[in-house]
Amino acid sequence: MKAYVIKAGSTSFEGLAKVEIPTPSAGPGEILVEMRAASLNFRDLLVPLGRYFGGPVPRNIIPLSDGAGEVVAVGAGVSRFKIGDRVCSTFFRNWIDGPASPADRPALGSPVDGVLAEFVVFNEQDAVKAPANLSFQEAATLPCAGVTAWHALMVAGRSIKPGDTVLVQGTGGVSLQALQLARAAGAQVFVTSSSDEKLARAKALGAAGLVNYKTHPEWSGEVLKLTGGAGVDCVVEVGGAGTLKQSMLSLRHNGKIGLIGVLTGFQGDTNPHPLMLKGGSLHGIFVGNRAMFEQMNRAIEANDVHPVIDRVFHFDQCGDAFAHMQAQRHFGKVVLSLG
């Protein structure tokens, strides 16, 4: 079968290679999935560059954590799936519900093999049924970005409810899925971006207020204006240290911040004093477990939510997809089609 690997020791995108490897088979408790689509996340850019946790990969590894496909074979004892089921991978192995230590939950795409191959074997515990209302390409956007957004909105701290206010940063996969899920829950959503064109597209998705952070570097002031001085109930924080101060200043009293990403790097003003004064909370979010994924999928079906896809690349255009993602031209998810 055809697959992509990141070569051992890779420190550039030159380490991403298309290869022929044996087609796997499903053992006891496993399912064999013919992959139909996969999607890229920011972490997927870091792995071939040798900048993800642990540095350069020590062996050839199949990249990407997020994919969707069809079950084509089941091993002995499988009870959760049957041939023909449409499924998504879970980001982590062995994390079904509740808390778990990192050692108990290896992630697909690093440190274990991911989904960018024609066929992939999963333990039946490490997959979920894809939402019935979504295409394979749409479903492939969910395992990391969707579950991360759901965790930040609906699990960490109190759940978002009708009338609440949410702030999302930028228009990448996590932020746009958070916008859609929060809108489906009845919340007002405010969006920051450096692009007026992208802000206009966010408004078309239901954003209630828009802030260009290049025009307004101290953008928390604009968020406070949009909320009548109150601040927001929840910030989906994907920037990290470089944006955390503004997120804390944007928060309503007793609000929460879901700390997700490090897009602005590791340097910045992280003094927690504003959080203390607001009685706010900061929750570290590292994707989530299978139970969260299944909860989110029910909400997606009930509200007919369709994730935003920026562009679909063919399987043979993997390098182009990585370059497009790296250029930060995308609005929503970058997807690879496997057929």
Task: State the CB neighbour count (10 A cutoff) for residue 59.
Answer: 11
Over residues 93-109, the pLDDT tens digits come to 999 999 876 667 899 99
Is a pLDDT exceeding 90 seen at residue 242?
Answer: no
**Residue at 194: amino acid letter:** S
| pLDDT band (50, 70, 90) for residue 204 | very high
pLDDT average, residue stretch 236-260: 93
What confidence score (pLDDT) does residue 102 get?
64
Is a pLDDT exceeding 70 seen at residue 241?
Answer: yes
What confidence score (pLDDT) does residue 262 get?
59
Name the CATH topology of 157-284: Rossmann fold (3.40.50)
Cα 171 to Cα 178: distance, rounded to the nearest angstrom: 10
User: What superfamily does domain 2-144+290-337 belong to in CATH?
Assistant: Medium-chain alcohol dehydrogenases, catalytic domain (3.90.180.10)
Residue limits of CATH 3.40.50.720 in the chain? 157-284
pLDDT average, residue stretch 257-282: 77
Q: What does R_g of the chain's alpha carbons equal in angstroms?
A: 20
What single-letter DSSP state applies at residue 93? S
Segment among 61-70, 130-139, 255-264 with least mean pLDDT: 255-264
Residue limits of CATH 3.90.180.10 in the chain? 2-144+290-337
pLDDT average, residue stretch 277-300: 95
| pLDDT band (50, 70, 90) for residue 337 | very high
Q: Is 22 exposed, middle or buried (0-12, 13-18, 19+ CB in 10 A)?
A: exposed
Is a pLDDT exceeding 70 seen at residue 265?
Answer: no
Task: State the CB neighbour count (10 A cutoff) for residue 34.
Answer: 17
What confidence score (pLDDT) does residue 281 get?
94
